[in-house]
């Protein structure tokens, strides 16, 4: 049991040492047009999958996690309107890969 605990603690320590950029997020500049476009794209992709008719209003906050190997991971809070026109907040996670490709989970 002690060996397993030491292994887990060691693994976590190595992970935190080798990936320091993911441990400390930087806030996004919500006035940056690129950040707003990422949010707009995330809502558009969500609607394609969920067909729930939400409409993008703006990104209201978020963090970015630079990753030297993959690109930048964004965790955004998006203000959007539902099908009935009621305001709501949605969270979107998006990874922008180094070669300009993108993937999203929302």
For the stretch 36-47, pLDDT in tens is 999 999 999 999
Residue pLDDT, tens place only, 53-72: 899 999 999 998 877 667 78
Amino acid 98: pLDDT: 54
Q: Which residues pair with 95 in a beta bridge?
A: 73, 103
Angle at 14 between CA 4 and CA 65, to 5 degrees: 125
Domains in the chain, start-ordered, CATH in brackets?
26-97 (3.10.450.10)
For residue 4, pLDDT over 60 is answered with no
Query: Among candidates 48, 40, 42, 47, which has minimal Cα distance to 73?
Result: 42
pTM of the model: 0.67
Q: What percent of the chain has pLDDT over 70?
A: 66
Amino acid 71: pLDDT: 77
């Amino acid at each position: 049991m002690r060996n397993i605990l030491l292994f887990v603690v060691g693994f976590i320590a190595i992970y935190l040492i080798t990936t320091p950029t993911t441990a400390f997020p930087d806030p996004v500049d919500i006035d940056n047009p690129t950040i707003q476009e990422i949010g707009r794209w995330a809502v558009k992709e969500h609607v394609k999958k969920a067909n729930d008719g939400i409409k993008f209003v703006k990104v209201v906050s978020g963090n970015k996690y630079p990753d030297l190997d993959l690109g930048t991971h964004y965790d955004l809070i998006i203000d959007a309107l539902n099908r009935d026109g009621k305001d709501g907040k949605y969270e979107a996670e998006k990874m922008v890969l180094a070669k300009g490709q993108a993937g999203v989970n929302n």
